């Protein structure tokens, strides 16, 4: 069972973080600006390994999302709008196969393949964006509960151990096809590194870093200017095996992290009131907490 939380607090214009209130007040043409977003996710995850070389994974998430945008009307006071969504997200299915391991069992190379099932709700309601004269999605892509299409992921994993230290690395690519509403999230290239230290059988602490290159979303064939970009995250993680019960053991896993670098795409648009900049929300932090129960069945030879 997993609980996750993430929040974003600032406007990101390229790599610059700007307070939303300052951003919208500095430009009379700025009709709105993302002020903040909050996301909660509860999930049931299941891992099953039919052999020592193959691991299968499933994640079933329930999401709660809330976004606040500041608005600047043509006449009158500044205001804000609040949007909220709640419901089942897209189910994730993954498989990992160990391609090679050393005879000392201290080096491992694996391949990962995965997909998502379009079980989360996606709204294709659109509103006319007059400055661009194009039809754009009315709700932010980040507020959608699902992508309305199956997605596909593949990549390589490598791990190596030195005494009580583990090094983990990964390179993954996620493909997001266009859905029936003619909207496509940008493909994602991710590289990750992690260092874990096993204090003893029950405790592990580690530091993890991943960098993501995200292509722009597309709506009705048009690239969405204020989408995609580069994000590098740093997280601190820990495991505590706190109880043996029901033929297995219970583990508490937690992590907390933040984006240490973001360079997010934006788009300048000429209007009668001046130049406005369509931007994305960024900065903030994320955290996860999970309770895991692990059980290993005895091989058939031992059962008989």
Banded pLDDT at 17 (limits 50, 70, 90): very high
CATH number of the domain bearing residue 156: 2.40.160.40
Q: Provide the number of structural domains found in the chain.
A: 1
Per the prediction, the chain carries an average pLDDT of: 91
3-state SS string over 133-196?
CEEEECCCHHHCCCCCCCEEEEEEEEEEEECCEEEEEEEEEEECCCCCCCEECCCEEEEEEEEE
Q: What is the pLDDT of residue 130?
A: 44
Mean pLDDT of the region 106-130: 86
Domain range for 286 is: 2-303
Residue 187, pLDDT score:
98
Least confident segment among 70-74, 114-118, 161-165, 216-220: 70-74
Confidence band of 137 (pLDDT split at 50, 70, 90)? low
Q: What's the average model confidence in pLDDT over 109-134? A: 79
Confidence at 141, pLDDT banded by 50, 70, 90: confident
Tell me the per-residue pLDDT of 169-191, one tens digit each, with 9 for 90 and over. Answer: 999 999 999 999 999 999 999 99
């Amino acid at each position: 069972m997993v609980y996750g939380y993430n929040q974003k607090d600032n406007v990101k214009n390229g790599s610059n973080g700007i307070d939303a209130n300052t951003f919208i007040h500095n430009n009379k043409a700025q009709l709105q600006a993302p002020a903040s977003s909050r996301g909660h996710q509860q999930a049931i995850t299941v891992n099953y390994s039919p052999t020592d070389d193959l691991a299968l994974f499933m994640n079933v998430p329930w999401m709660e999302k809330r976004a606040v945008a500041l608005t600047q009307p043509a006449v009158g006071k500044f205001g804000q709008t609040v949007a909220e969504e709640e419901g089942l997200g897209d189910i994730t299915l993954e498989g990992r196969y160990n391609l090679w391991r050393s005879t000392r069992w201290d080096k491992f190379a694996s391949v990962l393949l995965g997909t998502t099932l379009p079980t989360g709700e996606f709204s294709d309601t659109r509103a006319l964006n007059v400055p661009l004269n194009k039809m754009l999605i009315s709700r932010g892509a980040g507020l959608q509960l699902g992508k309305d299409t199956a997605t596909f992921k593949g990549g390589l994993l490598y791990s190596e151990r030195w005494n009580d230290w583990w090094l983990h690395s990964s390179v993954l690519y996620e493909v997001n096809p266009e859905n029936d509403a003619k909207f496509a999230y940008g493909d994602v290239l991710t590289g990750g590194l992690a260092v874990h230290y096993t204090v003893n059988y029950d405790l592990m602490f580690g530091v993890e870093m991943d960098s993501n290159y995200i292509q722009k979303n597309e709506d009705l064939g048009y690239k969405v200017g204020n989408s995609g970009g580069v994000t590098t995250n740093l997280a601190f993680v820990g495991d505590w095996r706190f109880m043996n019960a029901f033929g297995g053991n219970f583990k508490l896993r937690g992590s907390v992290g933040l984006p240490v670098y973001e360079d997010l795409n934006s788009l300048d648009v000429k209007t009668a009131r001046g130049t406005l900049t369509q931007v994305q929300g960024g900065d903030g932090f994320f955290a996860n907490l999970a309770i895991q129960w692990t059980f290993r069945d005895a091989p058939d030879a031992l059962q008989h």
